[in-house]
Amino acid sequence: MAKEKKGVRLEHISKIYKDPKTGKDFYAVKDQNLEIEPGSFVTLLGPSGCGKTTTLRMIAGFESPDEGEIYLGGEPINALTPNKRDTAMVFQSYALLPHYNIFDNVAYGLKLRKMDSETIKKKVTDILSLVGLEGMENRMTNQLSGGQQQRVALARALVIEPGVLLFDEPLSNLDAKLRVSMRTEIRRIQQEAGITAVYVTHDQSEAMAISDKVIIMNKGIVEQVATPQEAYYYPNSKFVADFIGECNFLKAKVTGQDMVEIDGAAVKCATGNLESGAECDVVLRPEGATLSDTGVIKGIVDYSCFMGAYQDYRIKVGESFVKIQEYNPKNKKIYKVGDTVYLGFEDNTLYAL
Amino acid sequence: MAKSQSASLDRKKLMADPIMVTTIVLLVVFLTIFILYPLAILLVDSFVSDDGLTLDTFKRVMALPNFRRAITNTLKVGFLVGIASSLIGLLFAYVEVYVKLRTKFMEGLFKVVSMLPVVSPPFVLSLSMIMLFGKAGIITRFLLHIYDNSVYGFWGIAIVQTLTFFPVCYMMLKGLLKNIDPSLEEAARDMGASRFKVFMTVTLPLILPGLGNAFLVTFIESIADFANPMIIGGSYDTLATTIYLQITGAYDKQGAAAMAVVLLAITLLMFVIQKYYLEAKSTATLSGKASRERMLITDKSVTVPLTILCSGLAIFVIIMYICVPFGAMFRTWGYDFHLTFKWFGQVFTKYKGFKAFKDSFILSLISAPITALLSMIISYLVVKRKFKAKGFIEAVSMLAMAVPGTVLGIGYIRGFSGGLFGSGFLQGLYGTGAILVIVFVVRSLPTGTRSGISALRQIDKSIEESAYDMGADSFKVFMTVTLPLIKDSFLSGFVTSFVRSITAISAIILLVTPSYLLITVQINEFAEKGAYGIACAFATILIIITYTAVLLMNIFMKYFGTSRKVNIED
């Protein structure tokens, strides 16, 4: 539907803010280089204050970068005001115009583009049916539920057929169940419209579910750009490993190619470029370990709790604790607090940093 | 770290928006010429003489015994009125928020009291004070048979000003008390504190900054007040009246300028303390919303005395207002109580009443939309936009709040009678209706801007950003989003400015020329002459006009306002 898919390129982008408390300048975003492919769905992911929203607002034009240049479809856009940029944003608070009905809200951008009323009517009707709001044209915004308001905000952004669609934590005001169904919906609509999308969230499961690529940010710096799978299985830093999913770090020593020693036991583990003899942290996802009565790494059950889908354990290994989730606990042996257990690892689940 | 690139980009983006740039430039020019420049001229007048910088003018006016007396008089009145008004305001606020008012009648009384300062011309209470307690006063002469009671002087001014200003304190403190979370007080009660103890150890400390704020606001109002001391002051001169007499009686423009600087210095100091210290503090301690409804006090030993006290005061104030139309209808106040319409007749036949109302009405009606629009634009720029001159615009338009009308009036005389800097440029303005309109605008701008700013702060920033993002430029955003959303604030700014203008006197009395007759100036003149019948007739019609304006506004807002239909807060 979009007239032209546009890519976004950020070259050495930095944004400096003044800390209101100390009065000192700091980098909200530092030397960011990004290439967002046309038609892809990319998520900026990170904890609050990591610079993801600032990045998005710089692409939209609400903030100006202090260093570097932003390109939209190959054109530098630093000096353009938001109204002159081929972007459309879906806001966290939806930001619908409360004095207009749904139709006028969606038609707002089209009217500014001086389209005739016939075209406007057709486009608005089409887009409302795409987002599943047929026949709601005359409702006022406060007569809609949160999810419906979100769809209007999406329709309003889509209807002007922007080169890039920007999302600023659009689902954070919805309840948990709706959040899950809306993110699938957003993904479907983006695919159907075939539009480039940049999405900001702090919710890693949302980012995984929705994106072609995630950009994990921390303190203004891009930690990793990867597909959700890569980021989960091959995080390139402890921060990423910890932020995407749950994770344990096991102290280990590289003993050879793809071999490490944990707590005196030799274990198979992807070691990447780490040299033999190096100290490292092995990333262990809670679902990546199994518990049994025999094995190499010995521990004592410190906590054991039935969670439905899995049995949640905390195992004391040496001086540290390891979180383990054993799925489908009905068919497995349940260990109690104080039991002695042995940890085993499935192949290809460990990754050394 | 260099922020230069974002600054230059922001500048480029701003420049891409010519309407916005023009608006900002025009605003800066307007505020500079009509607020800063007249005040600066006063400083120049009083500090600069032929042989350079000098304190001679100040030494000269400080040597005048009546000026020195005026300073102490003004401060004495200001302190008393400030304290009394905030205490009475607190009483009313406390009773409304904490005590169960059983009757519709009491609720009505409170509502009337809160409306009064909005619709009342400034000198109405002085008039009725004289008519109730003066030599020919109904209460003093006929009920108490005191034939030589004098209401003129310190107590007259203090009482009248307290009654005029306490409703403002009441409204301010009501807002604060409502924001106190009831569970704080319940927790104290729960731990065994008596109601009085709770008030002294929890409620009072929480609203103390707010109380100080109310005191200072009233203090500034009191020392800037011109109309009441003029009518009921007698020989007890305050700064505002002394300055007025210095220029109209002694023709000492330089001396008046120096006196105006002294008055301005006092109000500015108080304003700075109020604005930047107390206001921030009073809202900081009470930012939270009340978590739930407060259990109202129903204990008779508390409710009965408080109710009696409040209703007594309220009824007294209302009687004072009612006194005015009756004053206009008795044949001779204090002697002949036959009803007559001759005063109203005379207003229109003998004293060009029609022209006075027309002039006042038209000038106020012209200035009202200008003020309303201007204050909405200023609020929009201040709240929603980022640009260099923003701090200047906000500070200067708020500064106007601290400038007493008399000071502004003198500044305009000195600044514009010979054109800008005596160059003759803009001289044509002086003595015209245009300069009166400008004074009206400048005098009402701070209130309008303040209400606009608080209305806009309630609107989620991203609503405007979304429109901007959709492709609207600043002008479009303002017209299609901002203005419709603050329609109520615009409308109330319009009416408030209209009412303030039509009841204004302090600055205007110095600038009005014989070609314009203004109602307030007429009232002042007749009241000074002792022609209370005529003064009351003028005042009655004025109250009717202002009350109708406010009534129309409320009706309009009820049916066309935004707040009913729209949930602006996200």
Q: What is the domain extent for residue A77?
A: 8-239
Give whole-number Cα distances, A306 to A284, A329, B177, in Å: 21, 8, 50
Residue B510 covered by a domain: no
Which of B470, B482, B487 best probes binding to A when mutated, by most A CB atoms within 10 angstroms?
B470
Q: What is the domain extent for residue B160?
A: 59-327
Residues A210 and A317 reside in one and the same domain: no
Residue A3 covered by a domain: no
Subunit contact A80:B13, Cβ cutoff 8 A: yes
| pLDDT at residue number B286 | 58
Residues A258 and A313 reside in one and the same domain: yes
Mean pLDDT of B339-363: 81
Of A61, A98, A112, the CB nearest to B568: A98
Provide the domain count of chain B.
1
Residues A224 and A264 reside in one and the same domain: no
Q: How far away is chain B from the Cα of A184, in angstroms, using its nearest Cα? A: 24
- Domain end: A182, A211, A239, which one? A239
Q: What mean pLDDT is reported for chain B? A: 83
Q: Which stretches of chain A sit within 8 Å of chain B by CB? A: 15-16, 25, 27, 60-67, 78-84, 87-89, 91-93, 95-99, 108-109, 112-113, 140, 142, 153, 156, 160
| pLDDT at residue number B474 | 86
Residues A118 and A157 reside in one and the same domain: yes
Would the pLDDT of B569 be above 70?
Answer: no
Query: Considering only A101-110, B183-192, B395-404, which range has the smallest mean pLDDT?
Result: B183-192
Which helix (DSSP H) or strand (DSSP E) does residue A345 occupy?
strand A340-345
Terminal-to-terminal C-alpha distance of chain A: 44
Subunit contact B16:A112, Cβ cutoff 8 A: no
CB pairs under 8 A between A and B: 110
| pLDDT at residue number B204 | 87
Residues A124 and A156 reside in one and the same domain: yes
Of A63, A109, A140, the CB nearest to B470: A109
Q: Which stretches of chain B sit within 8 Å of chain A by CB? A: 1-7, 9-10, 12-13, 16-17, 460, 462-463, 465-473, 476, 480-481, 484-485, 562, 565-568, 570
Mean pLDDT of B250-257: 84
Phi, psi torsion values for B299, nearest 5 degrees: -60, 120
Q: How far away is chain B from the Cα of A82, in angstroms, using its nearest Cα? A: 5
CATH of the domain at A60: 3.40.50.300
Residue B117: which pLDDT band, with cuts at 50, 70 and 90? low
Would the pLDDT of B285 be above 80?
Answer: no
Query: Helix A117-130 vs helix A146-159: angle between axes, to the nearest 10 degrees?
Result: 130
Which of A99, A110, A124, A141 best probes binding to B when mutated, by most B CB atoms within 10 angstroms?
A99
Residues A101 and A192 reside in one and the same domain: yes
ipTM above 0.90, yes or no: no
Subunit contact B465:A84, Cβ cutoff 8 A: no
Q: Are A42 and A36 in contact (CB under 8 A)?
A: yes
Which residues from chain A sit within 8 angstroms of residue B469, using beta carbons?
60-62, 82-83, 87-89
Residue B258 covered by a domain: yes
How far is the C-alpha of B536 from the C-alpha of B539, rounded, in Å? Answer: 5
How far is the C-alpha of B408 from the C-alpha of B509, rounded, in Å? Answer: 11
Of A25, A78, A142, the CB nearest to B9: A78
Residues A124 and A227 reside in one and the same domain: yes
Task: Note the pLDDT tens digit of each residue in B141-184.
Answer: 677 777 777 778 888 899 999 998 898 898 888 888 888 888 88
Residue A153 covered by a domain: yes
- Domain end: A239, A274, A306, which one? A239
Q: In this structure, what token pair is assigned to residue B197?
A: 């103890």
Quick one: B154 exposed, middle or buried, by C-beta within 10 A (0-12, 13-18, 19+)? middle
Task: Note the pLDDT tens digit of each residue in B423-463.
Answer: 767 777 787 888 999 999 999 998 888 888 888 888 888 89
Nearest residue in B to A105, CA atom:
B467
Nearest residue in A to B16, CA atom:
A81
Q: How far away is chain A from the Cα of B280, in angstroms, using its nearest Cα? A: 16
Q: How far is CA B62 from the centre of its chain?
A: 29
CATH of the domain at A333: 2.40.50.140
Q: How far away is chain A from the Cα of B387, in angstroms, using its nearest Cα? A: 13
Subunit contact A78:B565, Cβ cutoff 8 A: no
Residues A221 and A268 reside in one and the same domain: no
Secondary-structure breakdown of chain A: helix, strand, coil percentages, each rounded to the nearest 5: 25, 35, 35
| pLDDT at residue number A3 | 63
How far is the C-alpha of B171 from the C-alpha of B97, rounded, in Å? Answer: 11
Residues A228 and A283 reside in one and the same domain: no
Of B5, B473, B484, the CB nearest to A99: B484
Which residues from chain B sit within 8 angstroms of residue A87, using beta carbons?
469
Q: Which are the contacts of A88, defined by CB distance < 8 A and separation ≥ 6? A: A109, A156, A157, A158, A160, A162, A164, A165, A166, B469, B470
Return the biggest CA–CA distance within chain B: 83
Residues A218 and A345 reside in one and the same domain: no
Q: How far away is chain B from the Cα of A228, in angstroms, using its nearest Cα? A: 30
Which residues from chain B sit within 8 angstroms of residue A97, using beta carbons?
463, 466-467, 480-481
Residue A2 covered by a domain: no
Nearest residue in A to B5, CA atom:
A66
- Domain end: A191, A208, A239, which one? A239
Residues A208 and A67 reside in one and the same domain: yes
Residue A1 covered by a domain: no
Of A99, A112, A142, the CB nearest to B485: A99
Would the pLDDT of B290 be above 60?
Answer: no
Of A62, A93, A108, the CB nearest to B467: A108
Provide the domain count of chain A.
2
Residue B544 covered by a domain: no
Would the pLDDT of B568 be above 70?
Answer: no
Length of chain B measured in residues? 570
Which residues from chain B sit within 8 angstroms of residue A67, using beta carbons?
5
Subunit contact B6:A63, Cβ cutoff 8 A: yes
| pLDDT at residue number B562 | 59
Q: In this structure, what token pair is assigned to residue A314?
A: 């905390």
Amino acid (one-letter) located at A347: D
Give whole-number Cα distances, B353 to A285, B343, B344, B345, B347, in Å: 89, 11, 9, 9, 5
CATH of the domain at B100: 1.10.3720.10
Residue B196 covered by a domain: yes
Residues A260 and A276 reside in one and the same domain: yes
| pLDDT at residue number B80 | 95
Residue A219 covered by a domain: yes
Q: What is the DSSP string of B388-428?
A: TTHHHHHHHHHHHHHS-HHHHHHHHHHHHTTSGGGSSTTGG
Residue B366: which pLDDT band, with cuts at 50, 70 and 90? very high
- Residue stretches of chain A with pLDDT short of 50: 1-2
Residue B251 covered by a domain: yes
Subunit contact B1:A92, Cβ cutoff 8 A: no
Which helix (DSSP H) or strand (DSSP E) does residue B189 occupy?
helix B182-190
Percent pLDDT > 70 in chain B is 93
Query: Considering only B26-40, B358-372, B543-557, which range has the smallest mean pLDDT?
Result: B543-557
Which of B466, B479, B487, B488 best probes binding to A when mutated, by most A CB atoms within 10 angstroms?
B466
DSSP letter, residue A331:
G
